[in-house]
Amino acid sequence: MSDLVTRLRRHNWRITPQRRVIAETLEGSHVHFTAEEILERACERMPELSRATVYNTLNEMVALGEVLELALDGRSKRYDPGVDEEHHHLICEGCGLMKDVHAVTDPLGWLPADERHGFAVTRASVTYRGRCPDCQDA
Amino acid sequence: MSDLVTRLRRHNWRITPQRRVIAETLEGSHVHFTAEEILERACERMPELSRATVYNTLNEMVALGEVLELALDGRSKRYDPGVDEEHHHLICEGCGLMKDVHAVTDPLGWLPADERHGFAVTRASVTYRGRCPDCQDA
DNA sequence: TTCTTTGTTTAGACATAGTCTAAGCTAGGA
DNA sequence: TCCTAGCTTAGACTATGTCTAAACAAAGAA
């Protein structure tokens, strides 16, 4: 059973069959899917699932704070269910492959007070870019 | 005269009137514009400038490595001419205001070798999020 | 059970951001 | 001058995401 579903239920959020399929699709993979990819995969289990439900559901999960929305390539957003675990992202500039990675310190501490422009800074995420093993050879 | 134009010329890249207006619009501001914002502002100086030219020109500048493409909000890309200067971005979650900031260490050093998954990692950028002074009151 | 209320899902229209195409234009070289 | 290569243009097209109105479903009240 999906841990994301458990977390969502705690918000008194109704777990309909559609929402369960979407949550399990999101969580059942190590890569971060786009909305269209989630729609496609979820439709294998529930063919009548509509595009609007997938977009609505993903946006609601993000609003509940249980899923992270990633805007890393400017084309489409990707969704990351690992919201509880502090991590960053490593992206291949050749093929777009994305991996979760863990850095050894918290980047919030790297930003001096005089660089904060009066902001209340709450989050920091690092995007590492490079070339994956396959794309280094090409 | 625009420093970006100087840098672009070094690539033997033809500086047409259209390209000059786009480059000067990009560089003449402290905020990072979207393509549509650049089009709008550049059209004040050159009304017949077309959308396609703006998009083509921005993509070519990015390909030449003289402008950075930022995908920070998942809606539209923004363009940053300050490619030579190491900096990161601070974004207000309330109003979308974006500021350039400078951190005290290079995040590349904080990614251990066993977290690199065989990638040749070349760049790291930090996105800080929070609320700007105006949005903290609201 | 049946009715009502509230929230969910759906198809498709719409909006926004960006790319492509085909034609015309322009600058520089022969 | 003409030729050629590359640049620019308008508008069609594609991709991604949002909105709307109607149908549907579940939970509580009578």
Protein-nucleic contacts, chain A 50-79 to strand D, CB < 7 Å: 51-52, 55, 59, 75-77
- Please, which pLDDT band fits residue B2 given cuts at 50, 70 and 90? low
Q: How far apart are CA B49 and CA A96, in angstroms?
A: 33
Mean pLDDT, rounded, for A96-103: 83
- Please, which pLDDT band fits residue A118 given cuts at 50, 70 and 90? very high
- Please, which pLDDT band fits residue B22 given cuts at 50, 70 and 90? very high
Q: Where are the domains of chain B?
A: 3-80, 88-137
Residue A23: strand, helix, or coil: helix
Residue A138 pLDDT > 70: no
Which numeric CATH code is attached to B3-80? 1.10.10.10
Please give the interface size between A and B, counted as residue pairs whose CB atoms are below 8 Å apart: 141
Structure tokens of A65?
Answer: 């704070």
- Please, which pLDDT band fits residue B84 given cuts at 50, 70 and 90? low
- Please, which pLDDT band fits residue B135 given cuts at 50, 70 and 90? confident
B3-80 and B88-137: identical CATH topology: no
pLDDT number for residue A40: 95
Which numeric CATH code is attached to A88-137? 3.30.1490.190
User: What mean pLDDT, rounded, does chain B reach?
Assistant: 89
**By the CB < 8 Å criterion, does A125 face chain B?**
yes
Structure tokens of A112?
Answer: 């001096």
Residue B23 pLDDT > 90: yes
Q: From the candidates B101, B105, B129, which should be mutated to test the interface with A, based on the most A CB atoms within 10 A?
A: B101
Mean pLDDT, rounded, for A95-107: 82
Residue A77 pLDDT > 70: yes
% of chain A exceeding 70 in pLDDT = 96
pLDDT number for residue A84: 63
- Summarised one tens digit per residue, pLDDT across range B36-81 is 999 999 999 999 999 999 999 999 999 998 999 998 888 899 999 9
Mean pLDDT, rounded, for A7-27: 94
Q: How far apart are CA A91 and CA A80, in angstroms?
A: 14
pLDDT number for residue A31: 81
Mean pLDDT, rounded, for A70-90: 85
Residue B136 pLDDT > 90: no
User: What mean pLDDT, rounded, does chain A reach?
Assistant: 89
Structure tokens of A30?
Answer: 């190590």
Which of these, B23, B120, B119, lies nearest to B62 by C-alpha position?
B23
Residue A36: strand, helix, or coil: helix
pLDDT number for residue B138: 62
